C-alpha cells in the first residue's frame, strides 16, 4: 500500500492504522527533533497531494483485511504535516462512514487559524497538535516554521479550534534538553496552554533519531519540572511497545521502505518487525536498498538507524545548536 500503513504501536493510541496523505517530507515546520529529518524546502501550500479516492480505497481494503480488535484507532499522521492535504476533511468524514473505530489527527496545528482547516478536523474524535514553545523566539528555535506559519497564528488557531471543537484536544509537548525544559520556558508554555484549554497535555521525548545531532531528550529532572509547572493535565508518554503489522507486503524490500519512511528504526527493531523473513534476508535487503540509494543509515544517540534515503539528516560538522534567543 502507498498511503495506509500498519497498524503500528502508538504511544497514545494503541494499535493505530496510519493514513499518510502527503509525500515525504511535506511540512511547514522544520523541527530540530523531527525523526524524519530536515524539511527541504518548507511548504505551506494546501493542495491534493495524492488522489483522495485512492487513499480511501486503501483504507477500506486495510479495514476489511483486519479482524476486530486488531486496530484501536485510525490515524491521519503524515510524512510531514497532514493538514496540508486539502482533502483531509473529506477523508475524515468518509473514514467515519466506513468504521466505528475512532479517528485521530496528529498535526502541528499551524493551519488551524484557517476556518476551513478547523472545519476539516471537526469530525475527528481526537486532534493532537504540538505546542513546544510559549514564545515566538523559542518557537522559531525549535520548530523553525515557514514564515507564514507564525507563533501568533499557531496559538490563535488552537484557541479558536478549542472554542468550536467538540472532540478531545490532546496537546503534545516535545521536551528538548536545555531548550524548552527550563523553568522559564515551561512557565511560558503553561501560559499559552491556559489559553488553549486542552483536555490533556502529553509530554514526549525525542527517542527516535532527531534531525539535528545536538538534540537530546530532557532528563528526569526536566520531566519532573514539566509536570510540576504544567499541572495535573500533563503526563509523560512513554515509547510505544507492540508489533508493526507488515503483512500487506509481498517482499521484504517493500516492507522495509514502507516502515522506515515513516518510522526510522534500528536494525534489531527491523529484524523483529520483519520476523516473517529471516534476519539474514532482512540484512541482505537493507544492504541492497542502501547500495541502490533507497535507504540510508544514520547515527543518533550512538545508535545506527535505518531511514528512507530521501530524508535529510545533517552530519555533525553542519549541525550546531542555535544560540539562545532573547525572549520576545
Is 222 among the domain residues?
A: yes
Is 28 among the domain residues?
A: yes
Confidence of residue 291 (pLDDT cuts 50, 70, 90): very high
Is 324 among the domain residues?
A: no
Is 300 among the domain residues?
A: no
Is 298 among the domain residues?
A: no
At 194, which CATH number? 3.20.20.70
Is 251 among the domain residues?
A: no
Rounded to 10 deg, the angle between the 183-196 and 151-164 helix axes is 40
pLDDT of residue 59: 97
What is the rounded radius of gyration, in angstroms, for the C-alpha atoms of the chain?
A: 19
Q: pLDDT tens for residues 84-126?
A: 999 999 999 999 999 999 999 999 999 999 999 999 999 999 9
CA dist 323 and 235 (Å) reads 29
State yes or no: pLDDT of 301 exceeds 90: no
Is 254 among the domain residues?
A: no
Domain hosting residue 164, numbered range = 4-243+312-318
CA dist 112 and 153 (Å) reads 8
CA dist 19 and 82 (Å) reads 9
Q: pLDDT tens for residues 200-252?
A: 999 999 988 999 999 999 999 999 999 999 999 999 997 666 667 766 677 88
Is 161 among the domain residues?
A: yes
Q: How many domains would you assign to the chain?
A: 1
Query: What does the mean pLDDT of the chain come to?
Result: 91
Amino acid at each position: 500500500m502507498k498511503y495506509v500503513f500498519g497498524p503500528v504501536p502508538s504511544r497514545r493510541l494503541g494499535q493505530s492504522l496510519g493514513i499518510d496523505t502527503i509525500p515525504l517530507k511535506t511540512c511547514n515546520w522544520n523541527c530540530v527533533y523531527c525523526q524524519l529529518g530536515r524539511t527541504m524546502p518548507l511548504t505551506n501550500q494546501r493542495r491534493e497531494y495524492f488522489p483522495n479516492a485512492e487513499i480511501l480505497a486503501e483504507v477500506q481494503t486495510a479495514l476489511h483485511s483486519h479482524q476486530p480488535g486488531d486496530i484501536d484507532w485510525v490515524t491521519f499522521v503524515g510524512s510531514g504535516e497532514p493538514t496540508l492535504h486539502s482533502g483531509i476533511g473529506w477523508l475524515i468524514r468518509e473514514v467515519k462512514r466506513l468504521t466505528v473505530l475512532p479517528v485521530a489527527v496528529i498535526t502541528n496545528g499551524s493551519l488551524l487559524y484557517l476556518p476551513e482547516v478547523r472545519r476539516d478536523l471537526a469530525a475527528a474524535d481526537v486532534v493532537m497538535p504540538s505546542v513546544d514553545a510559549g514564545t515566538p523566539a523559542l518557537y522559531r528555535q525549535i520548530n523553525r516554521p515557514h514564515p507564514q506559519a507564525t507563533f501568533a497564528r499557531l496559538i490563535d488557531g488552537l484557541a479558536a479550534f478549542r472554542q468550536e471543537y467538540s472532540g478531545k484536544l490532546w496537546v503534545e509537548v516535545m521536551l528538548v534538553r536545555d531548550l524548552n525544559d527550563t523553568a522559564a520556558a515551561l512557565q511560558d508554555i503553561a501560559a499559552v496552554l491556559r489559553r488553549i484549554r486542552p483536555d490533556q497535555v502529553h509530554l514526549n521525548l525525542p527517542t527516535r533519531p532527531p534531525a539535528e545531532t545536538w538534540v537530546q531528550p530532557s532528563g528526569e529532572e526536566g520531566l519532573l519540572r514539566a509536570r510540576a509547572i504544567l499541572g495535573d493535565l500533563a503526563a509523560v508518554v512513554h515509547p510505544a511497545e507492540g508489533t508493526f503489522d507488515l503483512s500487506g507486503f509481498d517482499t521484504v524490500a517493500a516492507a522495509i521502505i514502507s516502515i522506515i519512511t515513516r518510522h526510522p528504526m534500528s536494525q534489531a527493531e527491523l529484524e523483529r518487525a520483519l520476523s516473517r523473513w529471516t534476519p539474514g534476508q532482512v540484512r541482505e535487503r537493507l544492504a541492497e536498498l542502501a547500495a541502490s540509494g533507497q535507504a540510508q543509515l544514520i547515527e543518533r544517540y550512538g545508535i545506527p538507524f535505518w531511514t528512507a534515503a530521501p530524508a535529510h539528516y545533517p552530519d555533525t560538522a553542519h549541525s550546531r545548536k542555535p544560540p539562545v534567543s532573547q525572549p520576545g
